[in-house]
Structure 1
Amino acid sequence: MTQSIRYCLALDLKDDSDLIAEYIEYHRAENIWPQITKNIQEAGILDMEIYHIGDRLFMLMETTENFDPNAPAKSAEGQEISEEWERLMWTYQKPLKWAKAGEKWCKLTKIFDLKNSLP
């Protein structure tokens, strides 16, 4: 049985209520570009959720063991659409102050896990 890997990531949005509302609209199920969801699945992402408060976003991803966050999309069309989506999303996003150069979503460090704390 293969084990999934969980990623917890954070990113900030530009602190502008109109831009935040637009960003949220793009992420409604009926507005997500079909090629983006296809790229997500083809990359080995089994599940993805994004949560929002204020100008902060949290993403939870469950991936296959061989998931590579730096791998390009499987097709040329997929890569082109992915790059277009990322350019568009960057108009709404800003990096966390802890982000490395060129990094958007920052990986969070787990500091507590209930199942490891139970007797």
Structure 2
Amino acid sequence: WPEILAGIKEVGILEMDIYLRGTRLMMILEAPADLDLEAAMTRLATLPRQQEWEDYMSIFQVAAPGASSAEKWQPMERVFHLYD
């Protein structure tokens, strides 16, 4: 899915890791401090093959086909970091 990787970079995301455990996915992404993540995810949803990718990823998540990244991925608050 080269279009997905290109789109992630195009919207300003620098790095992304996704971890899987059963039906739970956790994403860690690195982005510039001034990146508007909501706007980036909205833009990402318009890029080629993105909705096809989201529908495929719904297999691994508890999400309805047709759900966007913004609907499936919700920000979390970090509550612990060893090196703070």
TM-score (norm 1): 0.51
Q: 8 Å contact 2:23–2:61 — kept in the other structure?
A: no
Moved runs in structure 1, 4+ residues, more than 6 A?
Answer: none
1:58 positional shift: 1.3
Structure 2: 5+ residue stretches without partners? 64-69
Q: Which runs of 5+ in 1 are unaligned?
A: 1-32, 96-101
Indicate how the Cα distance of structure 1 residues 70 and 110 shifts in structure 2: closer, same or farther if over 3 A, else same. Answer: closer
Q: Does 1:88 align with 2:59?
A: no
Distance in 2, matches of 1:94 and 1:114, equals 31
Deviates more, 1:102-111 or 1:44-53: 102-111
Larger relative contact order (Cα-Cα within 8 Å, sequence gap ≥ 6): 1
Aligned to 2:17: 49
Aligned length: 74
SS at match of 2:35: coil
Task: Report percent identity of matched pairs.
Answer: 38
CA distance in 1 between counterparts of 2:59 and 2:19 reads 19
Report the TM-score, using the length of structure 2 for normalisation. Answer: 0.68
Q: Is it true that 1:108 corresponds to 2:76 in the alignment?
A: yes
- CA distances 1:39-67 after superposition (whole Å, capped 9, x unpaired): 01111111111112222211110012232
Larger radius of gyration: 1
User: For the structure 1 residues 54 and 84, does the alpha-carbon distance in structure 2 shift closer, same or farther, using more than 3 Å as the test?
Assistant: closer
